[in-house]
Protein backbone atom coordinates (compact mmCIF):
# COMPACT_ATOMS: atom_id res chain seq x y z
CA UNK A 1 0.00 0.00 0.00
CA UNK A 2 1.55 3.30 -1.02
CA UNK A 3 1.06 6.38 1.10
CA UNK A 4 -0.87 8.05 -1.70
CA UNK A 5 -3.46 5.30 -1.73
CA UNK A 6 -4.47 6.00 1.86
CA UNK A 7 -7.43 8.35 2.02
CA UNK A 8 -6.88 11.52 4.02
CA UNK A 9 -8.84 11.51 7.23
CA UNK A 10 -9.14 14.05 9.98
CA UNK A 11 -7.44 11.67 12.38
CA UNK A 12 -4.51 12.83 14.47
CA UNK A 13 -2.33 11.04 17.00
CA UNK A 14 -5.23 10.29 19.28
CA UNK A 15 -7.65 8.57 16.99
CA UNK A 16 -11.39 8.74 17.21
CA UNK A 17 -12.73 5.29 18.10
CA UNK A 18 -15.08 3.99 15.44
CA UNK A 19 -17.48 2.37 17.89
CA UNK A 20 -19.31 3.92 20.85
CA UNK A 21 -18.38 7.32 19.51
CA UNK A 22 -19.87 9.65 22.10
CA UNK A 23 -18.76 7.45 24.97
CA UNK A 24 -15.16 7.40 23.72
CA UNK A 25 -15.03 11.21 23.62
CA UNK A 26 -15.96 11.61 27.27
CA UNK A 27 -12.46 11.35 28.82
CA UNK A 28 -11.14 13.98 26.38
CA UNK A 29 -14.07 16.28 27.19
CA UNK A 30 -13.48 15.90 30.91
CA UNK A 31 -9.70 16.45 30.70
CA UNK A 32 -10.05 19.51 28.49
CA UNK A 33 -12.76 20.98 30.68
CA UNK A 34 -10.66 20.53 33.83
CA UNK A 35 -7.53 21.94 32.16
CA UNK A 36 -9.53 24.84 30.72
CA UNK A 37 -11.03 25.72 34.08
CA UNK A 38 -7.64 25.56 35.83
CA UNK A 39 -5.98 27.77 33.22
CA UNK A 40 -8.71 30.41 33.05
CA UNK A 41 -9.30 30.30 36.83
CA UNK A 42 -7.07 33.32 37.69
CA UNK A 43 -9.03 35.50 35.25
CA UNK A 44 -12.39 34.19 36.47
CA UNK A 45 -11.35 34.84 40.08
CA UNK A 46 -10.35 38.41 39.19
CA UNK A 47 -13.85 38.98 37.81
CA UNK A 48 -15.68 37.54 40.82
CA UNK A 49 -13.50 39.28 43.41
CA UNK A 50 -14.03 42.59 41.62
CA UNK A 51 -17.76 42.29 42.47
CA UNK A 52 -17.23 41.22 46.09
CA UNK A 53 -17.82 43.81 48.87
CA UNK A 54 -14.78 44.66 50.98
CA UNK A 55 -16.50 43.63 54.21
CA UNK A 56 -17.19 40.20 52.79
CA UNK A 57 -13.61 39.75 51.55
CA UNK A 58 -11.93 40.50 54.87
CA UNK A 59 -14.71 39.03 57.01
CA UNK A 60 -14.63 35.50 55.62
CA UNK A 61 -12.93 32.64 57.42
CA UNK A 62 -11.98 31.01 54.11
CA UNK A 63 -11.58 32.68 50.75
CA UNK A 64 -14.50 32.09 48.41
CA UNK A 65 -14.67 32.75 44.72
CA UNK A 66 -18.33 33.70 44.27
CA UNK A 67 -19.58 36.69 46.27
CA UNK A 68 -22.69 36.37 48.52
CA UNK A 69 -23.78 39.86 47.61
CA UNK A 70 -22.70 41.56 44.41
CA UNK A 71 -21.47 45.12 44.38
CA UNK A 72 -20.12 47.72 41.97
CA UNK A 73 -18.44 49.74 44.72
CA UNK A 74 -15.01 48.33 43.79
CA UNK A 75 -15.34 49.75 40.29
CA UNK A 76 -16.40 53.03 41.81
CA UNK A 77 -13.27 53.05 43.99
CA UNK A 78 -10.93 52.11 41.16
CA UNK A 79 -12.45 54.51 38.66
CA UNK A 80 -13.03 57.53 40.88
CA UNK A 81 -10.57 57.39 43.77
CA UNK A 82 -7.59 56.96 41.46
CA UNK A 83 -6.60 58.40 38.08
CA UNK A 84 -7.83 55.27 36.24
CA UNK A 85 -9.75 57.24 33.60
CA UNK A 86 -6.53 59.08 32.83
CA UNK A 87 -4.49 55.83 32.77
CA UNK A 88 -6.94 54.31 30.32
CA UNK A 89 -6.97 57.42 28.13
CA UNK A 90 -3.16 57.41 28.06
CA UNK A 91 -3.12 53.73 27.12
CA UNK A 92 -5.64 54.21 24.34
CA UNK A 93 -3.67 57.13 22.90
CA UNK A 94 -0.32 55.33 23.23
CA UNK A 95 -1.66 52.05 21.82
CA UNK A 96 -3.62 53.79 19.05
CA UNK A 97 -0.61 55.75 17.80
CA UNK A 98 1.74 52.75 17.94
CA UNK A 99 -0.73 50.37 16.26
CA UNK A 100 -1.66 52.69 13.40
CA UNK A 101 1.94 53.71 12.75
CA UNK A 102 3.23 50.14 12.84
CA UNK A 103 0.57 48.89 10.46
CA UNK A 104 0.97 51.73 7.94
CA UNK A 105 4.78 51.73 8.00
CA UNK A 106 4.91 47.93 7.77
CA UNK A 107 2.59 47.94 4.76
CA UNK A 108 4.76 50.58 3.03
CA UNK A 109 8.09 48.92 3.78
CA UNK A 110 6.74 45.43 3.11
CA UNK A 111 5.43 46.59 -0.26
CA UNK A 112 8.78 48.09 -1.25
CA UNK A 113 10.68 44.95 -0.23
CA UNK A 114 8.22 42.65 -2.00
CA UNK A 115 7.61 44.57 -5.25
CA UNK A 116 10.49 46.93 -6.09
CA UNK A 117 13.97 46.22 -7.35
CA UNK A 118 16.61 48.53 -5.97
CA UNK A 119 20.18 48.70 -4.79
CA UNK A 120 20.92 47.33 -1.28
CA UNK A 121 17.56 45.54 -1.19
CA UNK A 122 18.97 42.40 0.37
CA UNK A 123 21.08 44.35 2.81
CA UNK A 124 18.09 46.41 3.93
CA UNK A 125 15.92 43.30 4.30
CA UNK A 126 18.75 41.73 6.30
CA UNK A 127 18.78 44.75 8.60
CA UNK A 128 15.04 44.36 9.19
CA UNK A 129 15.46 40.67 10.09
CA UNK A 130 18.60 41.36 12.12
CA UNK A 131 16.80 43.88 14.31
CA UNK A 132 14.38 41.12 15.35
CA UNK A 133 17.02 39.36 17.43
CA UNK A 134 18.15 42.51 19.27
CA UNK A 135 16.71 42.10 22.78
CA UNK A 136 15.14 45.10 24.53
CA UNK A 137 17.75 45.00 27.31
CA UNK A 138 20.27 46.26 24.81
CA UNK A 139 18.23 49.21 23.58
CA UNK A 140 16.13 50.52 26.43
CA UNK A 141 18.88 52.29 28.41
CA UNK A 142 20.29 54.29 25.45
CA UNK A 143 16.72 54.99 24.34
CA UNK A 144 15.90 56.23 27.81
CA UNK A 145 18.92 58.56 27.68
CA UNK A 146 17.98 59.77 24.19
CA UNK A 147 14.29 60.33 24.94
CA UNK A 148 15.14 62.10 28.21
CA UNK A 149 17.66 64.34 26.43
CA UNK A 150 14.97 65.25 23.90
CA UNK A 151 12.77 66.29 26.81
CA UNK A 152 10.25 63.58 25.89
CA UNK A 153 10.02 61.84 29.24
CA UNK A 154 6.40 61.94 30.44
CA UNK A 155 5.05 62.71 26.97
CA UNK A 156 3.14 60.71 24.37
CA UNK A 157 6.12 61.09 22.02
CA UNK A 158 8.28 59.44 24.63
CA UNK A 159 5.81 56.59 25.04
CA UNK A 160 5.33 55.96 21.32
CA UNK A 161 8.12 57.19 19.04
CA UNK A 162 10.61 54.33 19.71
CA UNK A 163 7.90 51.84 18.65
CA UNK A 164 6.45 53.47 15.56
CA UNK A 165 8.02 50.85 13.29
CA UNK A 166 7.91 47.09 13.65
CA UNK A 167 10.46 44.80 12.01
CA UNK A 168 8.15 41.85 12.60
CA UNK A 169 5.35 43.72 10.81
CA UNK A 170 7.56 44.56 7.83
CA UNK A 171 8.61 40.91 7.60
CA UNK A 172 5.03 39.65 7.88
CA UNK A 173 3.71 42.10 5.26
CA UNK A 174 6.55 41.35 2.84
CA UNK A 175 5.97 37.60 3.15
CA UNK A 176 2.27 38.02 2.50
CA UNK A 177 2.67 40.45 -0.40
CA UNK A 178 5.03 37.97 -2.07
CA UNK A 179 2.20 35.42 -2.21
CA UNK A 180 0.05 37.76 -4.33
CA UNK A 181 0.71 36.96 -8.01
CA UNK A 182 3.07 39.41 -9.61
CA UNK A 183 1.05 39.27 -12.82
CA UNK A 184 -1.56 41.34 -11.07
CA UNK A 185 0.99 44.08 -10.49
CA UNK A 186 2.29 43.94 -14.04
CA UNK A 187 -1.26 44.08 -15.41
CA UNK A 188 -2.10 47.06 -13.24
CA UNK A 189 1.05 48.80 -14.42
CA UNK A 190 0.09 48.23 -18.02
CA UNK A 191 -3.32 49.73 -17.24
CA UNK A 192 -1.48 52.80 -16.04
CA UNK A 193 -2.10 52.42 -12.32
CA UNK A 194 0.42 54.05 -10.02
CA UNK A 195 2.25 52.06 -7.35
CA UNK A 196 0.51 54.07 -4.66
CA UNK A 197 -2.93 53.35 -6.11
CA UNK A 198 -2.10 49.68 -6.63
CA UNK A 199 -0.87 49.30 -3.06
CA UNK A 200 -3.93 50.77 -1.38
CA UNK A 201 -6.63 49.69 -3.85
CA UNK A 202 -5.42 46.20 -4.77
CA UNK A 203 -2.73 44.92 -2.41
CA UNK A 204 -4.22 46.08 0.88
CA UNK A 205 -7.76 44.80 0.23
CA UNK A 206 -6.28 41.46 -0.88
CA UNK A 207 -4.20 41.29 2.32
CA UNK A 208 -6.98 42.06 4.79
CA UNK A 209 -6.39 38.82 6.71
CA UNK A 210 -2.66 39.33 7.17
CA UNK A 211 -3.07 43.03 7.97
CA UNK A 212 -5.75 42.44 10.58
CA UNK A 213 -3.69 39.63 12.14
CA UNK A 214 -0.76 42.02 12.47
CA UNK A 215 -3.01 44.86 13.72
CA UNK A 216 -4.25 42.64 16.54
CA UNK A 217 -0.71 41.58 17.36
CA UNK A 218 0.49 45.22 17.38
CA UNK A 219 -2.43 46.34 19.52
CA UNK A 220 -1.85 43.65 22.14
CA UNK A 221 1.92 44.19 22.34
CA UNK A 222 1.49 47.96 22.69
CA UNK A 223 -1.31 47.75 25.25
CA UNK A 224 0.62 45.23 27.36
CA UNK A 225 3.96 47.08 27.34
CA UNK A 226 5.45 47.32 30.79
CA UNK A 227 9.16 48.10 31.19
CA UNK A 228 9.35 51.08 28.83
CA UNK A 229 6.32 53.04 30.12
CA UNK A 230 7.52 52.25 33.66
CA UNK A 231 10.91 53.92 33.15
CA UNK A 232 9.87 56.75 30.81
CA UNK A 233 7.01 58.07 32.96
CA UNK A 234 7.13 59.20 36.56
CA UNK A 235 4.36 61.75 36.32
CA UNK A 236 1.11 60.14 37.51
CA UNK A 237 -0.90 61.81 34.74
CA UNK A 238 1.24 60.18 32.04
CA UNK A 239 1.17 56.61 33.34
CA UNK A 240 -0.33 53.92 31.13
CA UNK A 241 -2.92 51.50 32.47
CA UNK A 242 -0.34 48.74 33.08
CA UNK A 243 1.81 51.06 35.20
CA UNK A 244 -1.28 52.53 36.83
CA UNK A 245 -2.40 49.13 38.07
CA UNK A 246 0.99 48.57 39.69
CA UNK A 247 0.80 51.79 41.70
CA UNK A 248 -2.86 51.24 42.46
CA UNK A 249 -1.92 47.81 43.81
CA UNK A 250 0.77 49.28 46.05
CA UNK A 251 -1.72 51.83 47.46
CA UNK A 252 -4.75 49.60 47.93
CA UNK A 253 -2.89 46.57 49.20
CA UNK A 254 -2.16 48.36 52.45
CA UNK A 255 -5.91 48.58 52.90
CA UNK A 256 -6.26 44.97 51.70
CA UNK A 257 -8.81 46.35 49.27
CA UNK A 258 -8.45 43.43 46.87
CA UNK A 259 -11.91 44.03 45.42
CA UNK A 260 -10.86 47.43 44.12
CA UNK A 261 -7.52 46.05 42.92
CA UNK A 262 -9.30 43.34 40.94
CA UNK A 263 -11.75 45.91 39.58
CA UNK A 264 -8.75 47.88 38.30
CA UNK A 265 -7.29 44.66 36.89
CA UNK A 266 -10.52 43.90 35.03
CA UNK A 267 -10.67 47.44 33.63
CA UNK A 268 -7.09 47.16 32.34
CA UNK A 269 -7.49 43.71 30.75
CA UNK A 270 -11.00 44.19 29.32
CA UNK A 271 -9.82 45.67 25.98
CA UNK A 272 -7.47 42.74 25.40
CA UNK A 273 -10.12 40.19 26.42
CA UNK A 274 -12.59 41.75 23.99
CA UNK A 275 -10.02 41.54 21.20
CA UNK A 276 -9.37 37.93 22.19
CA UNK A 277 -13.02 36.95 22.14
CA UNK A 278 -13.83 38.65 18.85
CA UNK A 279 -10.63 38.08 16.91
CA UNK A 280 -9.43 34.81 18.40
CA UNK A 281 -9.13 33.11 15.01
CA UNK A 282 -6.92 35.79 13.50
CA UNK A 283 -4.85 36.09 16.66
CA UNK A 284 -4.26 32.34 16.79
CA UNK A 285 -3.47 32.26 13.06
CA UNK A 286 -0.95 35.08 13.42
CA UNK A 287 0.78 33.43 16.38
CA UNK A 288 0.77 30.00 14.72
CA UNK A 289 2.25 31.49 11.54
CA UNK A 290 5.08 33.11 13.49
CA UNK A 291 5.86 29.72 15.02
CA UNK A 292 5.73 27.67 11.85
CA UNK A 293 8.08 30.00 10.07
CA UNK A 294 10.39 30.04 13.06
Partner 1 sequence: MGVTTTADRAVRTKPKRRYKRGSSKAYLFLLPTFVILFTFIYFPIIESFRLSQNRVAPFGSQEISVGFDNYTRLLQSSDFWDTVKVSLWFMVGAVPIGIGLSVIIALLLSYPLRRLNWFYRTLIFVPVVISSAIAGTIFRLLYNPVVGFFNHWLGLIGIDGPNWLNDQSYAVVAVTITVVWRQLGFNVIIALAGIQNINEQLYEAAKIDGAGVFARIRYVTLPQLTPTLFFLAVVNVIISLQAFGEINILTDGGPGRATTNLVYQVFIDGFVGTRFLGRASAQAFLLAILIIGISIVQFRGLGKRVHYQ
Minimum CB separation of residue 6 from partner 1 in Å reads: 5
To 10 degrees, the CA torsion angle through 214, 216, 220, 221?
10
List the one residue out of 121, 253, 104, 207 whose CA is nearest residue 165.
104
Q: Give the CA count within 13 Å in the CB-facing half-sphere of 155.
A: 12
Minimum CB separation of residue 208 from partner 1 in Å reads: 20
Distance CA 110, CA 125 (A): 9
Q: How far apart are the first and last CA of the chain?
A: 34
Minimum CB separation of residue 179 from partner 1 in Å reads: 18
Q: Which is nearer to partner 1, 63 or 209 (CB)?
A: 63
Q: Which is nearer to partner 1, 82 or 106 (CB)?
A: 106
Q: Give the CA count within 13 Å in the CB-facing half-sphere of 43.
A: 11
Distance CA 157, CA 110 (A): 25
Minimum CB separation of residue 271 from partner 1 in Å reads: 9
Minimum CB separation of residue 205 from partner 1 in Å reads: 18
Instruction: Using DSSP, state whether 6 is helix, strand or coil.
Output: coil
Amino acid sequence: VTAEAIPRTESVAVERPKQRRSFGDAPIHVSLLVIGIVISMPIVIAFFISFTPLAELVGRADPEIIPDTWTLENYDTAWNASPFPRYMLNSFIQTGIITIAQVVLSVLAGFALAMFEFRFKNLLFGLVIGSLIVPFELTFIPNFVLISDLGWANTYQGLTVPFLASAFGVFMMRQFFLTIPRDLYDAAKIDGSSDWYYLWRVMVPLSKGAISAFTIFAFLSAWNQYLWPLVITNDESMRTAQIGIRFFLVNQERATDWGAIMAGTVIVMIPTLIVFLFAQKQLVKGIAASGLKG
